[in-house]
Every structure is written in structure tokens, then in C-alpha cells.
Chains A and B, each alone.
Chain A
Amino acid sequence: MSTVTTPVSTPHDEPARRTRRVPYWLLLPGILWLLVFFVAPLVYQASTSVQTGSLEDGFRVTWHFATYWDALSEYYPQFLRSVAYGATATALCLLLGYPLAYLIAFRAGRWRNLLMVLVIAPFFTSFLIRTLAWKTILSDGGPVVSALGSLHVLGLTDALGVTEGHRVLATPLAVVCGLTYNFLPFMILPLYTSLERIDGRLHEAAGDLYARPLTVFRKVTFPLSMPGVVAGTLLTFIPATGDYINAELLGSTDQKMIGNVIQSQFLRVLDYPTAAALSFILMAAILTMVTVYIRKSGTEDVV
């Protein structure tokens, strides 16, 4: 974060003072936007989370912090599941996305732009529609299940507990695959950006200094792509952990994530305080994890 120095001015240099104020005027629309659409809802949620009452009688702020504890003790399995699914999907995105981003950045040549368009192409269709399409793809009689079945993979995944009863839909596998698919571009784009920025001469210099290709990757390419890895994992992990669409459409009640709980508390159970408290817990948990992660990866200056 950069520090803002207060402009020192005298009444004599009026034009200079005006110039110095320009940045603040330019900040104003953004600040107003954040006040109306971020700070205000946040304050409202915070107050909701410590209210008690019912829809009929109305809710009143009673500073009832026990809601937090109750929410956590009741829904911690969904919390843990969300983190596990989010982390798994992020890891899969990294495993799938890194080679692809590497290929596009260093080997694609004239196909580079086309490949980038293909990475972004899914965004032209609604998130919801794409996830619904996966429902068809992964359905019991669908191509994936019959292919995996004939290869006897489903027996193995059943044994591992990621699928159940020789079906893919409504299993952890389906939800994690959906999350991976939906957030893959958020991993590839920052990875590509940071890989593409690496000066090719550094690879040559490493080779010249006796590094074999694999060592070049380990000692030069990968460390230099860390900003992309960190940005990509954050952009994937944060929304994937809070996601509810994939668990809703591709999972069953056993795969409910914290997003689904919050959604149903708000829209079906109409227990606003619990929903608000859950939202805050999720936000705090993610902020903590992200802070630790950034500290550990030593890229504070990058994010």
C-alpha cells in the first residue's frame, strides 16, 4: 500500500494546489461506489448478525454474539467441506492451468492469441448455463459415466469416496470438477501474464550457467512466475470456497457448501442473523487464510 502525502501548499501557489487535488477528485467516484455498494451493506450485515427476532415480530439489535458461535457449531462441516473443495479445485486448476499457461506463453507462437481466446471463450456463456451443461455431461447415462465405467475408474473413485454407487453426479467429484472447470480461466490468466513477462534471455542465461531444462524451470521460471501463482490461486480459491452454484447443481445434500447454507438461511429459512453471521465467519476465515498464504509465499509486494 502506498502512503498518501498531504500536499503542503501556500495561498500563493493556487494552480499547483488545484493540480494536487486532482487525484482526490478522480478517486471520488470509486470511493462513493465502495461506500454505497460495499461499506453500507457490510455495516448492515454486521448489524443484522447481532440482531434477534423473527420475520413476523421484526429484528432488533440485541448484540447477540452467540449467533456466531451457534452458526459455527452447527455448520462447521459445511465450512470445512467448502475449504476442502475450494483447495482441491485450486490445486487442480494449478495443475491443469500451469502447463497450459506455460505452453501459451512460450511455445504457442502464432497460435498464442487463438489459444487465449479459447481460454476466455467460456465467459461468453453464463456461468449458470455452463454448470447446467455439466449436469447433462456428468449425468448417469451420459458419456463421462459410461466412459469411466467401462474403464473401471468408477470402482476406484467409489472406493476413494469421491463418487458413490457408480455415478458421478451428486458426488464430491462432480462438485470439485465443476469448481475446477468454472474457475480455471481465473488461474490461467494471471499465470500466463506473469510467465509471458519472463525475459527469454533468463532461460538462456540459466542454460549457459549449466542448468538443465528441468533445473531452469525449478530455479528460474517457476520462482519468477510466483506472482502469477499467488494471484491465480487467490482468484480461484476465494470464489470457489464461497461458491454455491456448483454444489447446488452438481451435488446433493451431502455436498452442500457454506455458500449453499448462507443462501438457504437468507432465502428459505429467512434466518437473517445466522446468514449474516455465517457470511462474516466465511469472510474472516478466507482473509486469515489468504494473509497467512501471502506471508508464506513471500510475495506481499506482488498482490
Chain B
Amino acid sequence: MGRRHGPYRITRGRMSLLSALISPEPPGSRPMTATATTRGSGTDVRLTGISKTYGAFTAVHPLDLSVPAGSFFALLGASGCGKTTTLRMIAGLEDPTTGTVELAGKNVTALPPYKRPVNTVFQSYALFPHLDIYENVAFGLRRRGVKSVKKQVEEMLELVQLGDLARRRPQQLSGGQQQRVAVARALINHPDVLLLDEPLGALDLKLRRQMQLELKRIQTEVGITFIHVTHDQEEAMTMADTVAVMNAGRVEQLGAPADLYETPRTTFVANFLGTSNLITADVLGTAGDDILLRAGDTKLTLPATRSTAPARTGEKLLVGIRPEKITLTHADDAGTIADGRNRVTGRIAQSSFTGVSTQYLVDSSVATGLSVYAQNVERDGRLVPGAEVVLHWNPGHSFGLDAAQNVEAGTDVEAEGAG
């Protein structure tokens, strides 16, 4: 399992505080070469046909998932989508109904949690209330029979800046401090895989941002495989290399955050990850590499490569476009719009100023309530509710989806709580 018990060199300043403690380099040993890559190369996690049913309810449909060693992997989804259940099956806290869990090619499906080289940062931390911070952090080491935990624990506590609070009880700490204890308690064991179950859910926005960056930096520097469960799409996109979007016990789409955002393959992903305008259009035919469509009385084009659904003449297709990719021009200036862009005329129904941008809702003949985000660079004073406008965008920025899906999927999912 490749555990490392050695003490850690504290290289504060150069590295982040939290991550320095995972550096397995013992003091005085020969300097390691190619530190970032050889240091903790992590372990790959492979789920094969894994599923979980509770009576008649299927929490997770059989799914295959491969998490490459050393990656920061996020399971993203609304509450009840099966993401936490999947995580718990990796930890061994839940027995899969079918399928297998492999860590570094070794089948661990039958192993109880205490025999798996993984550690979990639990939602709301699950710190032991009867033990002080020191003993909470030392718990894993003591269970594995490590004799002298003092040095490791003290270094760990100092590094998470909780050295002064070692003898406090968890309930005497703030949420952010408890979160750091939870991370320290898991990381001190040098797990092959670190599982994080909504670890930042209880923190306020500012602290959450700070911890997101901190966790991301630790992961990048030590290369332990992180599997992070979250309902916060922004958090998943900020931190993860790969995001698996889950919905109703299935993985809807898996990929790099930018790919998921730019080219969603389902309406759920399009709506859950950010906001999408989805326009139902009739396929008129194709011209070269473009699909020609009509929505209402408006003609649209879409590059065929941007559509995940086949375009058959006479059938319908959903054209998706992100609000920030639409430009809003007052109808009087319609002549200034460049050729080759999709244009939709409409009337501003609502506008709200959010500082960085202004968000408009535009009613048009193709759809009501189209969202448009405009950067507040040079604000056009005429763009007020009631104004006649032209929405236009580069066809290459839109995407095509199968029209057989529910257009509303993923729009108003309850995003709080456990998944």
C-alpha cells in the first residue's frame, strides 16, 4: 500500500502550509529528484459496474468510473443523485449491490473500511467530541500502532495553524478550524486516496474559497488522488481536473471542467453547470459543416461538430447558448452586427445589475426569458426593460442537444445537503 510514516520537512513559505506536511522527505535524507512527480504518485481508483440499491430504490445505477492516479476528481450532483453513496462505496462504508472497487489494480470490494488505504474527510467533519484536537489527529496513527505520534501530530497541527489549540475539544473550535482538523486527521495517515464528502459545505463563502485553493494546492503538490463530492458546481470546476456530473444515480457526463461547460452533452449538464439558454429548433438541413435550423421565424446555424445529437431534416434539435456568449445590441444598431452570427430579435423584460455584469432577461419569438450576461464595460444606456434588442452570437459558441430530453432538467434542482 506504500504508506509513508516518516517525519516531514517543514518548508514553510515556499509551499503551502498544509501541503508541506505531506512531503514524505525525511530530514537529512538525500534530496529527492523530480519531487512533484515522484512524490506520492497516488493510486488509481477503478469502479466497475458498481451499483447500490436500497429495497426498491436505486441510489446508484451500475456505473464504471476510472479515476487516474494523482488526479483531483469531483463527483458533482444535486442532493440524492448518488454521489455520496458512490464515495462511501469507495471508502467501504457502504457495500455495493453489484460491481467492484479497485485501488491500484487491487480488488478491495470485500475489505472493511479499516483495511482500506483511503481516508475520508466527512461532511460536517465527524470529529470525536470526547477527544481533544491532538488526539483526533493522532487517532489514525495510534490505530495503526505508530509508537511516537508526538512529532508528527505536532508538526501537522502547527502546519494547519492549530498548534495553540491542541488541547481544545472540537466543539470549542470554529467551523473553519474544525474543517482543518478534519483534513489534518485524514492526511496524517498518507492515504493512497483521499475522499472528501462535501468538506466545505458548512463554511462561509470566503473561507470556502480560501480552502478550495488550499486543497487544490495540496493535491497538486503531493499528488495523492483526491475524490471530492460536492453539489457546488463552481467548487467542482475550480478544484477538479475531472468532473463527473451525476444525476439520479447515473453519471451524465465526465470530463474536464471546461469541456463540460463548453460542450454539455445533456440538458441536465447544460443547466446544472452554470446557466444555459436552450432553444427548440427545427432542422432545415445542412450546409457544409453547418446545420441549418429554424426557431419560430428565426434562422439559426450550428456547426455540426458542436452537436451531440444527429441532425435529421424535419426533426427537432435543442440549440444551447451560454448567457455570457450572447451579445446584446439595441435594435437601432442592428446594422452594425457582423455577418455569420446567429441573430434573434427580442425585447428586454428585466435587467439586474450585479456589479461585474448586468443580467438581462429577454423575451423573443424563439423563446421567452433568454438570459444574457453583459460585462459592465461600456454600458449602453438604451438597454433598459422594454427596449427592442437583437441578441447575437458566434454559432461556434453554441451547442446542439437531443430534443427528446427534458429541457428543464437540472434547472431547479435542490442543491443543498448530501447527495
Contact = CB atoms under 8 A, between A and B. Distances in A.
Interface of A: 199, 201-202, 204-212, 215, 219-220, 223-224, 226
Contacts of A212: 114
Given A208-B91, A210-B189, A211-B143, A201 B126 contact: yes
Which of A207, A212, A220, A224 gathers the greatest number of chain B CB atoms within 10 Å? A207
Which of A202, A209, A212 gathers the greatest number of chain B CB atoms within 10 Å? A209
Contact of B129 (A206, A208, A209, A224): A224
B140 interface: yes
B386 interface: no
B120 A205 contact: yes
Contacts of B144: 210
Nearest to B88: A204
Contacts, number: 59
B8 interface: no
The 7 closest A-B pairs by CB, nearest first: A209-B140, A205-B126, A210-B143, A201-B126, A207-B113, A223-B130, A208-B120
5 contacts: A205-B120, A208-B93, A208-B119, A210-B114, A212-B114
A215 B139 CA distance: 11
Contacts of B118: 208
Contact of A208 (B113, B124, B127, B128): B113
Given A204-B113, A204-B122, A209 B130 contact: no
A275 B143 CA distance: 55
B93 A199 contact: no
Nearest to A220: B128
Contacts of B127: 205
Given A209-B119, A211-B143, A220-B128, 18 more contacts: A199-B126, A202-B126, A202-B129, A204-B120, A204-B126, A205-B126, A207-B92, A207-B113, A208-B118, A208-B122, A209-B185, A209-B189, A210-B115, A210-B140, A210-B143, A211-B114, A211-B139, A224-B129
B112 interface: yes
Which of B91, B93, B114, B185 gathers the greatest number of chain A CB atoms within 10 Å? B114
B318 to A, nearest CB: 41
Contacts of B130: 220, 223-224, 226
Contacts of B120: 204-205, 208
A207 B128 contact: no
Contacts of A204: 93, 113, 120, 122, 126
Contacts of A220: 128, 130
A216 to B, nearest CB: 8
B128 A205 contact: yes
A206 B139 CA distance: 8
Interface residues of B, number: 24
Contacts of A199: 126
Contacts of A206: 128, 139
A220 B114 CA distance: 14
Contacts of B92: 207
Interface of B: 91-93, 112-115, 118-120, 122, 124, 126-130, 139-140, 143-144, 185-186, 189
Contacts of B93: 204, 207-208
Contact of A215 (B91, B129, B143, B186): B143
Contacts of A210: 114-115, 140, 143-144, 189
Nearest to B145: A210
B264 to A, nearest CB: 34
A208 B187 CA distance: 12
A292 B153 CA distance: 34
Nearest to B130: A223
A208 B124 CA distance: 15
A226 B127 CA distance: 18
Contacts of B119: 208-209
Nearest to A222: B130
A177 B397 CA distance: 82
A131 B144 CA distance: 51
B201 to A, nearest CB: 14
B86 to A, nearest CB: 15
A212 B119 CA distance: 15
A207 B113 CA distance: 6
A207 B189 CA distance: 13
A209 B139 contact: yes
A203 to B, nearest CB: 9
Contacts of A219: 139
A219 B113 CA distance: 16
Nearest to B120: A208
Given A210-B140, A220-B128, A205 B189 contact: no
Nearest to A204: B93
Contact of B114 (A201, A208, A223): A208
A209 B126 CA distance: 12
B286 to A, nearest CB: 55
A186 B14 CA distance: 60
Contacts of B114: 207-212
Nearest to B124: A201
A40 B44 CA distance: 75
A205 B113 CA distance: 9
Which of A201, A205, A208 gathers the greatest number of chain B CB atoms within 10 Å? A208
B382 to A, nearest CB: 56
Which of A207, A210, A211, A223 gathers the greatest number of chain B CB atoms within 10 Å? A210
A167 to B, nearest CB: 47
A224 B131 CA distance: 10
Which of B119, B126, B129 gathers the greatest number of chain A CB atoms within 10 Å? B126
Contacts of B112: 207
A40 B185 CA distance: 56
Nearest to A203: B126
Contacts of B186: 208-209
Contacts of B115: 210
A209 B118 CA distance: 9
B95 to A, nearest CB: 13
A34 B285 CA distance: 92
Given A210-B114, A210-B189, A224-B130, A205 B143 contact: no
Contacts of A201: 122, 124, 126
Nearest to A215: B143
Contacts of A202: 126, 128-129
